[in-house]
Amino acid sequence: MDSLETDIETGILEACEPPCLSLYQRTHRHAPENQQDPIRFAGLVDVLQASLRQTLTKRETEGLLEPFRALARDGRFWRQTLDGLAVLGGSDLFRTYRLQRPVTDFAVVADRLQLKPLLRAAQTSDRYQVLALSRRTFRLFEGDRDVLDEVEPDHRIPRDVTEALGEAVTESHLTVASYGGTGGESTPMVHGHGGKRSGVGIDEERFFRVVDRGVLEFHSRPSGLPLVLATLPEHRRLFHRLSHNPFLTAEGVDADPGGLTIDELRERAWHVMERLSLARLAALSDEFGAAKAAERAHDELAPVAVAIVAGRVETLLVEADRQVPGRVDAATGDVEPGELSDAASGDILDQLGLLARRTGSEVVVLPAERMPTDSGVAAILRY
């Protein structure tokens, strides 16, 4: 599965040579609903085919559609779907993204890729990650208010204390007895010889440091998402003391994650995130107001585009359901209005979001009622 963050950073989604093929589909996680997903996908590919045949030969059309048809035949792929699917293609491009949110089914051929649903899924302000941590192992999840899915940790992060410490594990040289604790996890009593700290405590701290470094480098920093820690209170205190992850939230889920269902974990994590999300949105609105008063903010498309291209935008707020047809010159920031019916036109807000992410701006997609402006866009400048 392709990485949206990497594709945005490299600019590959903006470099599609026409014709550009965009297909979005709502998918399902479980049977029997998911059994119809590849059939509906094939129907959407037929829509692309009909559109391509208006200007291309049959051979040219089938060359562009071959990776789409191969995906339709991939049984393993269709057994691992989430709530939505984005498939983008062109003469030198083919990308697939599983989405945690449903999307409206549509397929279109145009001079630009249609990215609005994809960017909304990637940029919504309520996404987060959960680090479910025990003394010996960890699991990683990603989701929002409605769904939480387990994600495979990067292969460079050791999965458990033995893999992390190898022969340096000290617990094997100690006698550990257990007594009943809270949250479904027993509390160790360690019998050893002297020393200021037990081997168990040393291993625990070293393992937590390894996990903290790996999650920060390979998950938190690339995604930019808040990280909610789910663990027993005594583990939370230790992890927070040694962690260097700036994305780690101060509040977490104080429970043994192994004793929670995924829905219970999502509910408790979202309880933490909801307060943070509402506070963050209120702070962004206040920050924009203050920046506007200090002439360090824009709320009109043309100056926002120029500021983004110049790398001056710190935070870009974009209205979720607004479409502004037209094009943005990625080199100059010039905005050219267009018509929705024109295949050469894209969505200016989509393009601004892409350009802003590429220049290191924070991009937050908000519902209309949370936007501090009526123009569909608000930019807080770095200088």
Q: Considering only 177-186, 207-216, 315-324, which range has the smallest mean pLDDT?
A: 177-186
* pLDDT band at residue 249 using 50, 70 and 90 as cut-offs: very high
Structural tokens at position 72: 């339709």
Return residue ranges of the chain for CATH 3.30.420: 128-277
Q: How many CB atoms lie within 10 A of CB 59?
A: 7
* pLDDT band at residue 333 using 50, 70 and 90 as cut-offs: very high
Structural tokens at position 297: 């903010």
- The topology (CATH level 3) of 128-277 is Nucleotidyltransferase; domain 5 (3.30.420)
Indicate the pTM of the whole model.
Answer: 0.66
**Rounded CA gap, 85 and 281, in Å?**
28
Report CA torsion sign: 295, 299, 305, 311: positive
Return residue ranges of the chain for CATH 3.30.960.10: 4-123
Dump pLDDT digits (tens) for 10-24: 878 878 899 999 999
Please give the residue that has the higher pLDDT: either 263 or 195: 263
Percent of the chain at pLDDT above 90?
61
* pLDDT band at residue 299 using 50, 70 and 90 as cut-offs: very high
Return residue ranges of the chain for CATH 3.30.1330.30: 295-381
CATH for 295-381 is 3.30.1330.30
pLDDT value at 109 more than 90: yes
Query: CA-based angle 265:269:274, to the nearest 5?
Result: 145
176 closest CA partner among 192, 155, 161, 165: 192
Q: CA 249 → CA 43, 145, 240, distances in Å?
A: 44, 16, 9
pLDDT value at 382 more than 90: yes
CATH for 4-123 is 3.30.960.10
Averaged confidence pLDDT in the chain: 87
Structural tokens at position 88: 């983008």
Dump pLDDT digits (tens) for 32-90: 888 999 999 999 999 999 999 999 999 999 999 999 999 999 999 999 899 999 999 99
Confidence at residue 144, expressed as pLDDT on a 0 to 100 scale: 87
Confidence at residue 295, expressed as pLDDT on a 0 to 100 scale: 95
Dump pLDDT digits (tens) for 120-153: 776 566 789 999 999 999 999 999 888 899 999 9
User: 376 with 322: CB under 8 angstroms?
Assistant: yes
